[in-house]
């Protein structure tokens, strides 16, 4: 018996869950897949007075295409469902490539997309993906609903814009442009562990390989997933080639101010941040060139 | 709702009804309430994989579930793998390849591999390595474990076709 005692509720629908959240406010923690909250409770780093288990809310478990091509995902959708989804595999290559990087299969069988976002671990892949794709989050409470863009959602180390009483219910990812060249990857101690450093690169080209759009997100190197605005600005409007790769790696490495911890020093993260940005930039550029030829 | 809850669940084909404290993890429940001590508890925060069981056929960490969450579900633990008279092909392959030393991690590896081979009956070595990446063996017996899973795959495939 490891977690400290708590009151347990297992609501069967969203309204009931929102009512409980309203009633218990800051005393309550939401239990989704439990792959982050349960470790914290087992170690007693978290001692919620009330646990609201939302696993019966099957209404929050879906993957759908909107008319405009955007992807809407229910917050309780398990990472494994995304991994196996035909819809995702057919139309969203970056999402398809990112999900298997999330922990191990046993974790993805339970872990949910909403849980990962609400937990906001700075080394987690899904929040970084949302920041790179500029996803939006639908948040519900007994008082109503609001839409929060990812740039306003992640505030800092495991801190989000979610207020007590609010529940993340849906993730909206913008329509995937087939012209995107993309790459994602990370360096970790063991396959599936949290990233020591991870990066996502998205590139879109105009004629003559001029960069129309560049997005670079790094994770594991700060209090939250970070967009590398200096490097993105440098890339936009310029010609992209091998030399640009070196320059972008240098800019990213300079911009990073990571912390040291048990697993890696700040110097290591700074250096490797540049190295993997270079690697994924080259990969994304190749894909963007191919996409343009099609 | 309170701090105790009544649950009904099926483990290895047998139905159980118990009243549990809601804060009890599923791993502790299996071991302490059902005396199914084959499920091992290592790190208790989801890193080591020793407590891996099948929840409705899917490999999960039983230390990261509450017993109350297993209400109405079908579970399988390592005790459900072998038939009374013979070991499961995976267990035989582990024995044959000496894929265990102290044996602490073995139940987790077996169930992870069992679920994996159901989904991917003809895996490559690289796929096996990835599949077991969430299980730690501190006797560093990974190579024999990989070999054992590769050995067992065609046997399980031929048995399941019968």
Could you tell me if A96 and A166 lie in one domain? yes
Number of domains in chain A: 3
Say what the pLDDT of residue B2 is.
62
Say if the Cβ atoms of A35 and B1 lie within 8 Å. Answer: no
Whether the Cβ atoms of residue A134 and residue A121 lie closer than 8 Å to each other: no
Say what the pLDDT of residue A1 is.
62
Say if the Cβ atoms of A103 and B45 lie within 8 Å. Answer: no
Tens digits of per-residue pLDDT, A21-43?
999 999 999 999 999 999 999 99
Residue A72 lies in a domain: yes
Average pLDDT of chain A, as a whole number: 96
Residue A132 lies in a domain: yes
- For residues B58 and A48, give the distance between their C-alpha atoms in angstroms, rounded to a whole number: 28
Residue A1 lies in a domain: no
- For residues B131 and B115, give the distance between their C-alpha atoms in angstroms, rounded to a whole number: 10
Burial of A294 (0-12, 13-18, 19+ CB in 10 A): exposed
Q: Give the neighbor-by-neighbor strand order of the sheet with A71-74.
A: A63-65, A71-74, A167-173, A136-141, A144-149
In this prediction, residue A92 has a pLDDT band, given cuts at 50, 70 and 90, of: very high
Q: What is the distance, to the nearest Å, from the Cα of residue A2 to the centroid of all Cα atoms in its chain?
A: 29
Residue A59 CB: number of other CB atoms within 10 A? 12
Could you tell me if A88 and A33 lie in one domain? no
Task: Name residue B8's beta-bridge partners.
Answer: B17
Residue A118 lies in a domain: yes
Which of A173, A206, A235 represents a domain boundary (last residue)? A173
Residue A98 lies in a domain: yes
Could you tell me if A94 and A33 lie in one domain? no
Nearest to A123 by CA among A278, A258, A287: A258
Say what the pLDDT of residue B161 is.
66
| The two three-digit tokens of residue B68, written as one number | 């109350």
Which domains, and CATH codes, for chain B? 4-80 (3.10.20.30), 89-161 (1.10.150.120)
Say if the Cβ atoms of B65 and A39 lie within 8 Å. Answer: no
Which of A119, A151, A173 represents a domain boundary (last residue)? A173
Residue of B50, B133, B136 for testing the chain A interface, max A β-carbons within 10 Å: B133
Kindly give the confidence (pLDDT) of every residue in chain B, 162 residues in length, as a single tens digit, with 9 standing for 90 and above. Answer: 568 999 999 999 999 999 999 999 999 999 999 999 999 999 999 999 999 999 999 999 999 999 999 999 999 999 999 988 999 999 999 999 999 999 999 999 999 999 999 999 999 999 999 999 999 999 977 999 999 999 999 999 998 765
Could you tell me if A97 and A149 lie in one domain? yes
Residue A153 lies in a domain: yes
Helix (H) or strand (E) holding B161: helix B142-161
Helices (H) and strands (E) in chain B, counts: 5, 5
Parallel, antiparallel, or unpaired: how do β-strands A50-53 and A28-31 relate?
Answer: parallel
Whether the Cβ atoms of residue A121 and residue B150 lie closer than 8 Å to each other: no
Residues from chain A that touch B46, judged by Cβ atoms under 8 A, are 35, 38-39, 107
Tens digits of per-residue pLDDT, A266-278?
999 999 999 999 9
Whether the Cβ atoms of residue B112 and residue B149 lie closer than 8 Å to each other: no
Buried b (16+ CB within 10 A) or exposed e, B15-48: ebeeebbbbbbbbbbbbeebebebbbbbbbbbbb
What pTM was estimated for this model as a whole? 0.95
Could you tell me if A107 and A131 lie in one domain? yes
Tens digits of per-residue pLDDT, A105-149?
999 999 999 999 999 999 999 999 999 999 999 999 999 999 999
Dump strand ranges (E) for A92-225: 136-141, 144-149, 154-156, 159-160, 167-173, 181-187, 197-205, 211-219
Count CB pairs under 8 A between chains A and B: 99
Could you tell me if A124 and A148 lie in one domain? yes
The domain in which residue A16 lies consists of 7-53
Say if the Cβ atoms of B60 and A10 lie within 8 Å. Answer: no
Mean pLDDT computed over A56-78: 96
Say what the pLDDT of residue B162 is.
57
Question: Residue A251 to residues A24, A184, A277: CA-CA distances in angstroms?
Answer: 46, 18, 10
Closest-CA residue in chain A for B109?
Answer: A106
Whether the Cβ atoms of residue A172 and residue A70 lie closer than 8 Å to each other: yes
A127: Cβ–Cβ under 8 A, 6 or more apart, which residues?
A116, A117, A120, A121, A150, A154, A219, A224, A225
Say if the Cβ atoms of B3 and A7 lie within 8 Å. Answer: yes
Tens digits of per-residue pLDDT, A240-289?
988 899 999 999 999 999 999 999 999 999 999 999 999 999 999 999 99
- For residues B99 and B92, give the distance between their C-alpha atoms in angstroms, rounded to a whole number: 10
Say what the pLDDT of residue A286 is.
96
Residues from chain A that touch B22, judged by Cβ atoms under 8 A, are 6-8, 51
Say if the Cβ atoms of A10 and B59 lie within 8 Å. Answer: no
Residue A21 lies in a domain: yes
Could you tell me if A191 and A249 lie in one domain? yes
A23 to chain B, any CB pair closer than 8 A? The answer is no
Give the CATH number for residue A216.
3.30.390.50
Residue A81 lies in a domain: yes
DSSP string, B61-80: EGGGSBGGGGTT-EEE-GGG
């Amino acid at each position: 018996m490891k977690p400290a005692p708590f009151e347990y509720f297992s609501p069967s629908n969203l309204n009931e869950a929102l009512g409980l959240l309203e009633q218990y406010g800051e005393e309550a923690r939401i239990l989704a897949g439990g792959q982050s909250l349960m470790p914290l409770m087992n170690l007693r780093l978290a001692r919620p007075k009330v646990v609201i288990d939302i696993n019966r809310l099957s209404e929050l478990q879906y993957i759908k295409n909107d008319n405009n091509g955007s992807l809407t995902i229910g917050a309780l959708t398990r990472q494994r469902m995304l991994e196996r989804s035909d819809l995702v595999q057919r139309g969203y290559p970056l999402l398809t490539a990112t999900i298997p990087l999330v922990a191990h299969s046993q974790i993805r069988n339970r872990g949910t997309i909403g849980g990962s976002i609400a937990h906001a671990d700075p080394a987690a892949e899904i929040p970084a993906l949302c920041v790179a794709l500029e996803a939006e989050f639908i948040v519900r409470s007994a008082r109503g609903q609001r839409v929060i863009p990812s740039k306003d959602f992640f505030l800092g180390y495991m801190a989000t814009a979610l207020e007590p009483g609010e529940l993340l219910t849906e993730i909206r990812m913008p329509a995937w442009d087939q012209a995107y060249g993309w790459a994602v990857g990370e360096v970790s101690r063991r396959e599936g562990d949290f990233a020591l450093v991870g990066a996502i690169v998205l590139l879109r080209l105009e004629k003559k390989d001029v960069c129309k759009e560049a997005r670079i997100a790094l994770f594991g190197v700060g209090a939250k997933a970070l967009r590398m605005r200096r490097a993105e600005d440098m890339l936009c409007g310029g010609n992209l080639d091998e030399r640009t790769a070196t320059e972008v790696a240098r800019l990213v490495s300079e911009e990073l101010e990571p912390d040291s911890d048990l697993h890696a020093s700040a110097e290591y993260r700074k250096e490797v941040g540049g190295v993997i940005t270079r690697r994924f930039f080259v990969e994304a550029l190749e894909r963007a060139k191919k996409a343009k030829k099609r | 709702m309170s701090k105790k809850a009544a649950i009904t669940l099926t483990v290895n084909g047998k139905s159980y009804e118990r009243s549990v404290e809601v804060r009890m993890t599923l791993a502790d429940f299996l071991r302490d309430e059902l005396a199914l001590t084959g499920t091992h508890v290592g790190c208790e925060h989801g890193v080591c994989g020793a407590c891996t069981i099948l929840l409705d056929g899917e490999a999960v960490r039983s230390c990261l579930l509450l017993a109350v969450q297993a209400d109405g579900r079908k579970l399988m633990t390592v005790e459900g793998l072998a038939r009374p008279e013979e070991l499961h092909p995976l267990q035989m392959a582990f024995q044959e390849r000496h894929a265990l030393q102290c044996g602490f991690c073995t139940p987790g590896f077996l169930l992870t591999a069992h679920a994996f081979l159901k989904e991917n009956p003809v895996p490559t070595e690289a796929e096996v390595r990835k599949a077991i990446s969430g299980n730690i063996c501190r006797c560093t017996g990974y190579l024999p474990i990989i070999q054992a899973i590769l050995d067992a795959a065609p046997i399980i495939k031929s048995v399941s076709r019968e």
